[in-house]
Amino acid sequence: MMTPMTDAALLIPGSWLGMIGGGQLGRMFCHSAQSLGYKVAVLDPDTQSPAGAVADLHICAAYDDAQALVRLGELCQAVSTEFENVPAQSLLTLAQYTRVTPSGDAVGIVQDRIREKAFISQAGVPVAPYAAIESLDDLQAADSALFPGILKTARFGYDGKGQARVADRDQALAAFKEFGSQACVLEALQPLKSEISVVLARGLDDQVKTFPCARNEHRDGILAVSTVSAQFQDDAMSEQARQAAAAIARTLDYVGVLCVEFFILEDGRWLANEVAPRPHNSGHYTMNACVTSQFEQQARVMAALPLGDTQALCPSMMLNILGDIWFDAQGQMREPDWAALLAVPGVSLHLYGKTEARAGRKMGHVNIVGESDQQVRERTARAATALHIAFDHD
């Protein structure tokens, strides 16, 4: 393990915090940082970026624009990022001018699934059997026990993109060519029972605080529902997952907020799937159910403030809002019934300020809280009905 960072000067409110990336995660970070009294500068090339619209300053430029990076680095006392595909070199460049959390080195590892899996294993955390695939020869030589499997591009994959299920070697060869013969990871399919995730923060002083585990349901590779139940937080598996996530963060010498996704297998074993070097969709529940949100925690890390309390105050569920709900069964646009949604007790609506609704595009989310797991589920069913979102009522 590397030594903790020592550049831990406290940044007082009024200081500038920088964010590379202008998406919804950056937008919610802006709100949290500003509520603590900080000013936020966002670097993003999109003139209509959700974060740029609410930041104190929007530097509209490419993520690797040299002049823009110098401007951001000289203005801000600390800089972070809100998406995993930011050029790691940009973070390394910014580190010449200001505090950067997480570091370009840590993000560079997590951006590459081959290096990421090696580091997870190095932390003593189990992963699914896999092989690094960098050529057709690697696929020909891959252990037959990895089939059926999933072929994933080593870089630039998210929300199910850059992935293909492959029943045998021939399908894997075809998928590899379809991916442009770029480096991939071949993972053996596992008997999956469920998926959970752990969002945590590691501070400049090596302090780690983990949020309660969320159970996640995906549809078409995109997170649909996250559940934080009172019952699940007390079991041994939840505690093991939190400890494993902390071990990964320390092995990476990662400073900032990150999420580790885990597979729970039918036989009760668990495996680490992947690491997201940023706040995460499955951590949105923290905005309404926890003492400190994941976005406030990100600002606290950057400013070298004490990490906030991660206790969940109540059970909760989170529903993703995709652009699909702006269209009826005939494909005609319609405005979702926000009034019906907000009539449901325990509901908090978070929209991202995006100008165009498209199928599969994340437009917002709904957090639902209550006094019990049953009450939360009943309220979530009502919220889903109001928005025409499919939801398992059982």
Per-residue pLDDT of 337-371, as tens digits, reads 999 999 999 999 999 999 999 999 999 999 999 99
The pLDDT assigned to 315 comes to 97
What is the end-to-end Cα distance of the chain in Å, rounded?
Answer: 45
Is residue 177 located within the same domain as residue 42? no
- 8 part of a folded domain: no
180 labeled part of a ligand binding site = no
Is residue 182 located within the same domain as residue 213? no
Identify the band that residue 235 occupies on the pLDDT scale cut at 50, 70 and 90: confident
- Asked which of 59, 75, 110 is the last residue of a domain, the reply is 110
- 116 part of a folded domain: no
Is residue 44 located within the same domain as residue 100? yes
Identify the band that residue 328 occupies on the pLDDT scale cut at 50, 70 and 90: very high
Q: Is the pLDDT of residue 72 over 80?
A: yes
Q: Which residue, among 270, 157, 149, has the nearest Cα to 215 in the 3D structure?
A: 270
Backbone φ and ψ for 11, nearest 5 degrees, come out as: -100, 120
- 5 part of a folded domain: no
How many residues comprise the chain?
Answer: 394
Is residue 271 located within the same domain as residue 333? yes
Pairing mode of beta strands 78-81, 99-100? parallel
Is the pLDDT higher at 232 or at 210? 210
Is residue 224 located within the same domain as residue 328? yes
209-221 mean pLDDT: 94
297 labeled part of a ligand binding site = no
- Chain CA centroid to CA 92, Å: 21
**Cβ density class 303-336: b for 16+ within 10 Å, e for less:** bbbebbebebebbbbbbbbbbebbeeeeeeeeeb
Q: What is the pLDDT of residues 9-39, one digit of tens each?
A: 999 999 999 999 999 999 999 999 999 999 9
161 labeled part of a ligand binding site = yes
Is residue 231 located within the same domain as residue 101? no
Identify the band that residue 236 occupies on the pLDDT scale cut at 50, 70 and 90: confident
CATH of the domain at 82: 3.40.50.20
- 10 part of a folded domain: no
Name the one residue in this structure whose structure tokens are 């925690």: 297
Distance between CA 105 and CA 253 in Å, rounded?
9
160 labeled part of a ligand binding site = yes
273 labeled part of a ligand binding site = yes
The pLDDT assigned to 157 comes to 65
Is residue 357 located within the same domain as residue 263? yes
**pLDDT > 90 in the chain, percent:** 91
The pLDDT assigned to 339 comes to 98
152 labeled part of a ligand binding site = yes
337 labeled part of a ligand binding site = no
Identify the band that residue 185 occupies on the pLDDT scale cut at 50, 70 and 90: very high
The pLDDT assigned to 161 comes to 72
List the beta bridge partners of residue 256: 202
**pLDDT > 70 in the chain, percent:** 96
Averaged confidence pLDDT in the chain = 94
Q: Which residue, among 162, 213, 393, 203, has the nearest Cα to 305 in the 3D structure?
A: 203
25: its two tokens: 């995660």
Q: Is the pLDDT of residue 6 over 50?
A: no
56 labeled part of a ligand binding site = no
63 labeled part of a ligand binding site = no
Is residue 258 located within the same domain as residue 141? no
Distance between CA 8 and CA 337 in Å, rounded?
47
Q: Is the pLDDT of residue 206 over 70?
A: yes
The pLDDT assigned to 230 comes to 81
The pLDDT assigned to 159 comes to 57
Is residue 138 located within the same domain as residue 94? no
CATH of the domain at 151: 3.30.1490.20
Q: Is the pLDDT of residue 7 over 70?
A: no
- 89 part of a folded domain: yes
Is the pLDDT higher at 3 or at 106? 106
- Asked which of 163, 188, 213 is the last residue of a domain, the reply is 188
Range of the domain at 56: 16-110
pTM score, whole prediction: 0.94
- 322 part of a folded domain: yes
Identify the band that residue 2 occupies on the pLDDT scale cut at 50, 70 and 90: very low
- Chain CA centroid to CA 361, Å: 15
Is residue 213 located within the same domain as residue 347? yes
Is residue 225 located within the same domain as residue 302? yes
Q: Is the pLDDT of residue 172 over 80?
A: yes
Domain count for the chain, please give it: 3
- Asked which of 166, 188, 210 is the last residue of a domain, the reply is 188
- 276 part of a folded domain: yes
Q: What does the angle CA 208 – CA 279 – CA 190 come to, to the nearest 5 degrees?
A: 90
Q: What is the pLDDT of residues 73-88, one digit of tens each?
A: 999 999 999 998 899 9
Q: Is the pLDDT of residue 3 over 50?
A: no
Identify the band that residue 5 occupies on the pLDDT scale cut at 50, 70 and 90: very low
Is residue 138 located within the same domain as residue 224? no
The pLDDT assigned to 156 comes to 75
Q: Is the pLDDT of residue 394 over 70?
A: no
14: its two tokens: 């009024």
The pLDDT assigned to 392 comes to 80
The pLDDT assigned to 160 comes to 60
- 121 part of a folded domain: no
The pLDDT assigned to 258 comes to 98
**Residue 238 and residue 211 in contact, taking contact as beta carbons nearer than 8 Å:** no
Q: What is the pLDDT of residues 251-282, one digit of tens each?
A: 999 999 999 999 999 999 999 999 999 999 99
